[in-house]
Structure 1
Amino acid sequence: MNEDDLAKALALAGASDPYIVCWRDLDPQSTTEELERLAEWVAWVIHRYRVDHKTIPPCWPEHGALVEELSALRTYWESCYQDDANPADPLAFHRDLTLTLRRLRDWSSLLGCTRTTHRPELVS
């Protein structure tokens, strides 16, 4: 990642410290705002790491587990690129990115959404 890419991604994150979101505690307006903020970062990740729709489908904001996982990944990413971060933190992020992408792929497979079709989750 070059310095321009890093600066742009940090600007998209919108915070100088890692930003932790407790989705359960947000009101509907705050949820909408946080999803918009997260969507910018997720778009960057999809482009930067060439993640396909089988891992992060376009309808990811409609699936709570995907939102939680991506939000946690963003927080972790932000913490790894702080001024006081350990020089090994970016390597740790990339190690854990592999695990996160595997979980996202598993959840997306269970959801059955495609590039063009969203399958709502059944509420029991």
Structure 2
Amino acid sequence: MNPDDDLARALAFTPPTDPCVICWRDLDPTSTTEELERLADWVTWATTRYNLDHKVIPPCWSHHGAIVEELSALRTFWEACYQPDAAPSDPLAFHRDLTLALRRLRDWSSLLGCSRMNHRPEI
């Protein structure tokens, strides 16, 4: 994938009008693919916005259930924080929880052993 395309996609990202909680366990294969594509848009935006590298979110993140769950939860929280009825302190709450989530993502990514160029399937 071209880094310039990723940056353009990230800068063009606009949040949906309503936050959407996803229960990945209950999705059929088609819905899973659609939701992963929607989540990928947010992940591209977030990795660009927060300058996150492969040690936090590996390029193969969509192949790792725990990372998908964490990123999905973060996206839902982020979406909720920027709704018209959100409290003024909600973005601060997101950033507080983002710090904790980044630690978990870094830990999971380290345990997986995936690199910028290589994916290691979970056993």
TM-score normalised by L of structure 2: 0.89
Q: Which runs of 4+ in 1 moved over 6 A?
A: none
- Post-superposition shift, 1:109? 0.4
Over residues 56-112 of structure 1, what are the superposed CA-to-partner deviations in whole Å (9 max), with x where a residue is unaligned? 000000000000000000000000000000000000101110000000000000000
Give SS of 1:41's match: helix
- Post-superposition shift, 1:113? 0.2
In the alignment, the residues of structure 1 paired with residue 113 and residue 12 of structure 2 have an alpha-carbon distance, to the nearest angstrom, of: 33
The match for 1:116 is 117
TM-score normalised by L of structure 1: 0.88
The match for 2:108 is 107
In the alignment, the residues of structure 2 paired with residue 57 and residue 103 of structure 1 have an alpha-carbon distance, to the nearest angstrom, of: 13
Give SS of 2:52's match: coil
The match for 1:23 is 24
The match for 1:61 is 62
Give 1:18's aligned amino acid: P
Matched-pair identity in %: 72
- Post-superposition shift, 1:8? 5.0
Quote the RMSD (CA, aligned, Å).
1.2
In the alignment, the residues of structure 1 paired with residue 102 and residue 26 of structure 2 have an alpha-carbon distance, to the nearest angstrom, of: 26
The match for 2:8 is none
Paired residues for 1:1-124 under 5 Å: 8-9=12-13, 11=14, 13=15, 15-122=16-123
